[in-house]
Chain A
Amino acid sequence: GENVEQHPSTLSVQEGDSAVIKCTYSDSASNYFPWYKQELGKGPQLIIDIRSNVGEKKDQRIAVTLNKTAKHFSLHITETQPEDSAVYFCAVTRGSARQLTFGSGTQLTVLP
């Protein structure tokens, strides 16, 4: 089955700095890569996603890049704010499967 590794497990940045979280996956047939943000006591919230026919996608301060050859994708958050503090999960799926396979999460702390 699919295996997703996520790094780092914890990340602390100063407010205004950038944060980068990276995930690698094992199944070359994977074609959909969402990122979720989860705050304490809440369900995961989709923040950005990318499909395999695109190398990069940006939405305001958030961007995702995909390298299909190397089988990794990354979340980039610029101009971080304290409200960005949360656990971030990457996930992977492929067209023939419906379920998402999640990484183990990154606890992001933005220090004021």
Chain B
Amino acid sequence: DTGVSQDPRHKITKRGQNVTFRCDPISEHNRLYWYRQTLGQGPEFLTYFQNEAQLEKSRLLSDRFSAERPKGSFSTLEIQRTEQGDSAMYLCASSLALAYIRTDTQYFGPGTRLTVL
């Protein structure tokens, strides 16, 4: 079990450019979450998938953000027309949802730090 991995670990881009991040969850985990964390704050929920279905999106996820999880394995988070306010750490987490457990434990990846100049 290699844990949740994210790529790249750091991304510097210019305002207006598009960026894409990748997350590989723990093998066999059926839920995958994206969070955003700004300096000095706790992570904030963006969206989550159960298998390939995107089931919930936060109000923080503007139209410039899109997430996918094809085939229910890895996930990508794309930000179009980046703004300086998008600078943050983007965290991915995964969990194994079982029918007899109402809430599942989320395991986080190392994050992708985005800097928009």
Contact = CB atoms under 8 A, between A and B. Distances in A.
A43 B108 contact: yes
- Size category of the B interface is 20 to 34
- Size category of the A interface is 20 to 34
Contacts of B110: 41-43
Contact of A45 (B48, B56, B108): B108
A101 B111 CA distance: 18
B41 A104 contact: yes
Interface in A39-85: 41-46, 49, 51
Interface in B60-117: 91, 102-103, 105-111
Contacts of B35: 100
B69 to A, nearest CB: 14
Interface in A4-57: 4, 6, 31-32, 34, 36, 41-46, 49, 51
Contact of A46 (B48, B56, B107): B107
A108 interface: no
Contacts of A95: 102-103
Given A32-B102, A93-B103, A105-B40, 19 more contacts: A4-B42, A6-B42, A31-B102, A34-B106, A41-B110, A43-B110, A44-B91, A51-B103, A91-B42, A95-B102, A95-B103, A98-B33, A100-B43, A100-B45, A100-B106, A102-B43, A102-B44, A104-B40, A105-B42
